[in-house]
Amino acid sequence: MTLACNDDFESVMTLINHCIGDMESHGIFQWNDFYPSAEIIRDDIESRSMHILKDGGDCIGMIVINEEQSPEYEQLRWTDVCGRYLIIHRLAVSPEWQRKGVGQRLMDFAENSALERNYTSIRLDACTGNPRALALYERRGYQKAGQLYFPRRELPFNCYEKMM
């Protein structure tokens, strides 16, 4: 796992475009032309919150971890209300590398980072139209904290929390 840098931008955008095509082929319309945008990805890289896995020079997986939660999260009832929580955003695995443990490695990295940095919990959201993502988080012991809608999104998102 490495911290993404500006030189990784094109490879990350290629990964995102492959993932969008793959999700759409499975009837999952979670990502699109406006999310995640090139601007969002550049911000993730510049803020040093994006971590990637590579095979050769190609990005095969990515995860963004930071303390920035969506304002919509405020309407949910979280278990961890007094601690420090890490937020997971934009986890993606290249379609060719799915079901080969890459998603697990990305999640292991996030959880280990949370423990090493003394976070008390991890929060994330996942589109209800993406059963593979929902299953990944639930298998890893994330508890559903509620459901919400994001602007310009048709389907609701499940919000999850895992105490560390």
The pLDDT tens digits of the residues spanning 66-88 come to 999 999 999 999 999 999 999 99
What b-and-e string marks burial along 1-27, b requiring 16 or more CB atoms within 10 Å of the CB?
beebeeebbebbbebbebbbebbeeee
Q: How many angstroms from the chain centroid is the CA of residue 92? A: 7
Q: Tens digit of pLDDT for each residue in 7-62?
A: 999 999 999 999 999 999 999 988 987 899 999 999 999 999 999 999 999 999 99
Q: Where are the domains of the chain?
A: 2-163
Tokens of 53: 């896995």
Decide yes or no: CATH 3.40.630.30 for domain 2-163: yes
